[in-house]
Amino acid sequence: MSRMSLISLNLWNTEHLESRMPALTSFLTTYATDIFCFQEIRPVLCVLFDKILPGYTRVKGAESGWTQEDTIYFNSSLFAELEHGWVDLHMPEPMRGLFWVRLKTPDGKRLVIATVHFTHQLNADENRTGMPYRPAEARTVAKILPEVASGDGIILAGDFNDPVQPTRILCEEGGFSDAFRLLSVPAPCTFPCLFLTDEEWLVEGIDKIMVRNGVKPLMASSPHFHLPGSVLSDHWPVMGMFEY
Protein backbone atom coordinates (compact mmCIF):
# COMPACT_ATOMS: atom_id res chain seq x y z
CA MET A 1 0.00 0.00 0.00
CA SER A 2 1.10 3.58 -0.70
CA ARG A 3 0.53 6.65 1.47
CA MET A 4 0.00 10.27 0.52
CA SER A 5 -1.15 13.52 2.11
CA LEU A 6 -3.57 16.15 0.82
CA ILE A 7 -4.67 19.63 1.85
CA SER A 8 -7.74 21.48 0.58
CA LEU A 9 -8.17 25.24 1.04
CA ASN A 10 -10.54 27.89 -0.22
CA LEU A 11 -8.15 30.79 -0.90
CA TRP A 12 -10.76 33.61 -0.69
CA ASN A 13 -9.54 34.88 -4.08
CA THR A 14 -7.49 38.05 -3.48
CA GLU A 15 -9.37 39.51 -0.50
CA HIS A 16 -6.92 41.06 1.99
CA LEU A 17 -4.15 39.31 0.06
CA GLU A 18 -1.34 41.57 1.22
CA SER A 19 -2.00 40.82 4.89
CA ARG A 20 -2.53 37.11 4.17
CA MET A 21 0.62 36.63 2.10
CA PRO A 22 2.97 35.80 5.02
CA ALA A 23 0.65 33.09 6.35
CA LEU A 24 -0.02 31.59 2.90
CA THR A 25 3.68 31.42 2.03
CA SER A 26 4.65 29.93 5.38
CA PHE A 27 1.79 27.44 5.40
CA LEU A 28 2.48 26.02 1.95
CA THR A 29 6.19 25.59 2.59
CA THR A 30 5.78 24.35 6.19
CA TYR A 31 3.14 21.72 5.51
CA ALA A 32 4.42 20.76 2.04
CA THR A 33 1.71 18.17 1.52
CA ASP A 34 1.86 15.77 -1.42
CA ILE A 35 -1.22 17.31 -3.08
CA PHE A 36 -2.90 20.70 -2.71
CA CYS A 37 -6.48 21.29 -3.84
CA PHE A 38 -7.35 24.98 -4.03
CA GLN A 39 -10.65 26.75 -4.52
CA GLU A 40 -10.99 30.44 -5.47
CA ILE A 41 -7.58 30.44 -7.12
CA ARG A 42 -6.65 33.52 -9.15
CA PRO A 43 -3.86 34.15 -11.71
CA VAL A 44 -1.80 36.18 -9.22
CA LEU A 45 -1.97 33.27 -6.78
CA CYS A 46 -0.92 30.80 -9.47
CA VAL A 47 2.17 32.93 -10.13
CA LEU A 48 2.95 33.11 -6.41
CA PHE A 49 2.43 29.40 -5.75
CA ASP A 50 4.42 28.36 -8.82
CA LYS A 51 7.38 30.21 -7.30
CA ILE A 52 7.11 28.98 -3.73
CA LEU A 53 6.26 25.38 -4.70
CA PRO A 54 9.09 24.60 -7.14
CA GLY A 55 8.88 20.85 -6.60
CA TYR A 56 5.23 20.74 -7.60
CA THR A 57 3.31 20.62 -10.86
CA ARG A 58 0.18 22.69 -11.29
CA VAL A 59 -2.49 21.08 -13.45
CA LYS A 60 -2.98 23.33 -16.47
CA GLY A 61 -6.25 22.85 -18.28
CA ALA A 62 -7.62 24.69 -21.29
CA GLU A 63 -10.63 25.95 -19.34
CA SER A 64 -10.21 29.36 -17.69
CA GLY A 65 -11.47 27.96 -14.39
CA TRP A 66 -8.10 26.27 -13.80
CA THR A 67 -6.63 29.70 -13.01
CA GLN A 68 -9.82 31.53 -12.00
CA GLU A 69 -11.66 29.06 -9.75
CA ASP A 70 -10.03 25.72 -8.76
CA THR A 71 -6.67 24.10 -9.30
CA ILE A 72 -4.53 21.18 -8.12
CA TYR A 73 -0.81 21.04 -7.33
CA PHE A 74 1.00 17.71 -6.89
CA ASN A 75 4.50 16.74 -5.80
CA SER A 76 6.36 16.02 -9.02
CA SER A 77 8.71 13.49 -7.41
CA LEU A 78 5.81 11.34 -6.26
CA PHE A 79 3.31 11.57 -9.12
CA ALA A 80 3.12 11.95 -12.86
CA GLU A 81 0.03 13.31 -14.58
CA LEU A 82 -1.74 10.95 -16.97
CA GLU A 83 -4.69 13.17 -17.88
CA HIS A 84 -6.96 15.83 -16.47
CA GLY A 85 -10.41 17.20 -17.14
CA TRP A 86 -13.20 19.58 -16.23
CA VAL A 87 -16.88 18.67 -15.84
CA ASP A 88 -19.58 21.29 -16.34
CA LEU A 89 -21.93 21.18 -13.34
CA HIS A 90 -24.30 23.77 -14.85
CA MET A 91 -23.57 26.21 -12.07
CA PRO A 92 -24.50 29.89 -11.96
CA GLU A 93 -20.74 30.52 -11.67
CA PRO A 94 -19.73 29.67 -15.27
CA MET A 95 -16.03 28.97 -14.64
CA ARG A 96 -16.64 26.60 -11.74
CA GLY A 97 -17.21 22.88 -12.08
CA LEU A 98 -15.52 19.61 -11.21
CA PHE A 99 -11.76 19.75 -11.76
CA TRP A 100 -9.88 16.43 -11.77
CA VAL A 101 -6.51 14.88 -12.55
CA ARG A 102 -5.44 11.26 -12.91
CA LEU A 103 -2.02 10.65 -11.35
CA LYS A 104 0.38 7.73 -11.50
CA THR A 105 3.05 6.77 -8.96
CA PRO A 106 6.49 5.45 -9.95
CA ASP A 107 5.34 1.93 -9.02
CA GLY A 108 2.33 2.18 -11.33
CA LYS A 109 -0.51 2.96 -8.93
CA ARG A 110 -3.18 5.34 -10.20
CA LEU A 111 -5.27 7.85 -8.31
CA VAL A 112 -7.88 10.43 -9.32
CA ILE A 113 -7.79 13.71 -7.39
CA ALA A 114 -10.73 16.10 -7.81
CA THR A 115 -11.73 19.43 -6.38
CA VAL A 116 -15.03 21.30 -6.45
CA HIS A 117 -16.56 24.51 -5.11
CA PHE A 118 -20.33 24.22 -4.92
CA THR A 119 -22.56 27.31 -5.21
CA HIS A 120 -22.82 29.54 -2.15
CA GLN A 121 -26.02 29.54 -0.09
CA LEU A 122 -26.39 33.30 -0.56
CA ASN A 123 -26.42 33.15 -4.36
CA ALA A 124 -28.85 35.87 -5.49
CA ASP A 125 -31.06 33.51 -7.48
CA GLU A 126 -31.19 31.03 -4.61
CA ASN A 127 -32.16 33.83 -2.23
CA ARG A 128 -34.95 34.82 -4.59
CA THR A 129 -36.38 31.36 -5.27
CA GLY A 130 -35.42 29.44 -2.15
CA MET A 131 -34.24 26.58 -4.38
CA PRO A 132 -30.66 25.40 -3.70
CA TYR A 133 -28.19 24.59 -6.47
CA ARG A 134 -25.97 22.24 -4.46
CA PRO A 135 -28.05 19.02 -4.56
CA ALA A 136 -28.10 18.97 -8.38
CA GLU A 137 -24.40 19.83 -8.52
CA ALA A 138 -23.56 17.05 -6.06
CA ARG A 139 -25.67 14.52 -7.99
CA THR A 140 -23.74 15.28 -11.16
CA VAL A 141 -20.44 14.74 -9.32
CA ALA A 142 -21.76 11.53 -7.72
CA LYS A 143 -22.61 10.16 -11.16
CA ILE A 144 -19.73 11.37 -13.31
CA LEU A 145 -16.66 11.21 -11.07
CA PRO A 146 -16.82 7.40 -10.55
CA GLU A 147 -17.18 7.05 -14.32
CA VAL A 148 -14.12 9.24 -14.84
CA ALA A 149 -12.12 7.24 -12.29
CA SER A 150 -13.00 3.90 -13.92
CA GLY A 151 -12.01 1.96 -10.82
CA ASP A 152 -9.03 4.09 -9.78
CA GLY A 153 -8.97 5.38 -6.21
CA ILE A 154 -10.65 8.76 -5.76
CA ILE A 155 -10.11 11.66 -3.38
CA LEU A 156 -12.59 14.52 -3.77
CA ALA A 157 -11.93 17.69 -1.79
CA GLY A 158 -13.40 21.14 -1.77
CA ASP A 159 -15.69 23.80 -0.43
CA PHE A 160 -19.17 22.23 -0.38
CA ASN A 161 -20.92 25.39 0.92
CA ASP A 162 -23.38 23.08 2.72
CA PRO A 163 -22.66 20.89 5.75
CA VAL A 164 -25.33 18.28 4.92
CA GLN A 165 -26.79 17.70 1.46
CA PRO A 166 -23.74 17.33 -0.86
CA THR A 167 -22.07 14.89 1.54
CA ARG A 168 -25.28 12.90 1.95
CA ILE A 169 -25.82 12.71 -1.81
CA LEU A 170 -22.22 11.76 -2.57
CA CYS A 171 -22.37 9.00 0.04
CA GLU A 172 -25.83 7.62 -0.72
CA GLU A 173 -25.86 8.03 -4.49
CA GLY A 174 -22.17 8.02 -5.42
CA GLY A 175 -20.63 5.47 -3.09
CA PHE A 176 -18.29 7.99 -1.49
CA SER A 177 -17.33 8.17 2.18
CA ASP A 178 -16.48 11.22 4.25
CA ALA A 179 -12.89 10.98 5.53
CA PHE A 180 -13.73 12.44 8.95
CA ARG A 181 -16.72 10.13 9.36
CA LEU A 182 -14.64 7.07 8.49
CA LEU A 183 -12.23 8.04 11.25
CA SER A 184 -15.10 8.69 13.70
CA VAL A 185 -13.93 12.29 14.05
CA PRO A 186 -16.53 15.10 14.14
CA ALA A 187 -16.52 17.22 10.99
CA PRO A 188 -14.53 20.35 11.86
CA CYS A 189 -15.98 23.84 11.64
CA THR A 190 -14.03 25.36 8.76
CA PHE A 191 -15.92 28.62 8.22
CA PRO A 192 -15.54 31.36 9.12
CA CYS A 193 -12.02 32.20 10.13
CA LEU A 194 -12.90 35.37 11.99
CA PHE A 195 -9.61 37.25 11.78
CA LEU A 196 -10.57 39.15 8.61
CA THR A 197 -14.17 38.35 7.74
CA ASP A 198 -17.30 39.86 9.28
CA GLU A 199 -19.47 36.80 8.53
CA GLU A 200 -19.41 35.67 12.14
CA TRP A 201 -23.04 34.59 11.96
CA LEU A 202 -22.13 31.72 9.61
CA VAL A 203 -20.67 28.76 11.50
CA GLU A 204 -20.31 25.70 9.29
CA GLY A 205 -18.35 22.53 8.57
CA ILE A 206 -18.35 22.97 4.79
CA ASP A 207 -14.83 22.07 3.65
CA LYS A 208 -14.80 18.34 2.95
CA ILE A 209 -12.64 15.41 1.87
CA MET A 210 -14.41 12.39 0.35
CA VAL A 211 -12.92 9.06 -0.72
CA ARG A 212 -13.92 6.11 -2.88
CA ASN A 213 -12.56 2.95 -4.52
CA GLY A 214 -10.30 1.69 -1.76
CA VAL A 215 -8.73 4.92 -0.55
CA LYS A 216 -8.44 4.69 3.24
CA PRO A 217 -8.01 7.79 5.44
CA LEU A 218 -5.44 7.39 8.20
CA MET A 219 -5.93 10.84 9.72
CA ALA A 220 -7.88 14.03 9.03
CA SER A 221 -7.78 17.44 10.65
CA SER A 222 -8.29 21.15 10.12
CA PRO A 223 -5.12 23.03 11.10
CA HIS A 224 -5.82 26.54 12.37
CA PHE A 225 -2.58 27.85 10.93
CA HIS A 226 -1.84 31.54 11.41
CA LEU A 227 0.98 33.97 12.02
CA PRO A 228 0.81 37.16 14.09
CA GLY A 229 -1.39 39.49 12.05
CA SER A 230 -1.78 37.05 9.15
CA VAL A 231 -4.17 34.19 8.35
CA LEU A 232 -4.70 31.98 5.31
CA SER A 233 -8.26 32.82 4.29
CA ASP A 234 -11.78 33.26 5.59
CA HIS A 235 -11.79 29.41 5.62
CA TRP A 236 -9.66 27.02 7.62
CA PRO A 237 -8.03 24.25 5.55
CA VAL A 238 -8.72 20.55 5.83
CA MET A 239 -6.01 17.93 5.46
CA GLY A 240 -5.65 14.19 5.52
CA MET A 241 -3.26 11.28 5.22
CA PHE A 242 -4.41 8.40 3.05
CA GLU A 243 -3.49 4.84 2.14
CA TYR A 244 -4.34 3.47 -1.29
Cα–Cα dist 167/14, whole Å? 28
Q: What is the pLDDT of residues 210-224, one digit of tens each?
A: 999 999 999 999 999
Average pLDDT, the chain: 97
pLDDT band of 181, cuts 50, 70, 90: very high
Average pLDDT of 200-209? 92
Across 49-63, 90-104, 105-119, 186-200, least confident range:
186-200
Average pLDDT of 68-87? 98
pLDDT band of 138, cuts 50, 70, 90: very high
Cα–Cα dist 191/230, whole Å? 16
* Rg value, the chain, Cα: 17
What domains appear along the chain, each with residue ranges and CATH number?
3-243 (3.60.10.10)
Share of the chain above pLDDT 70, in %: 100
pLDDT band of 194, cuts 50, 70, 90: confident
H or E stretch including 137?
helix 134-149
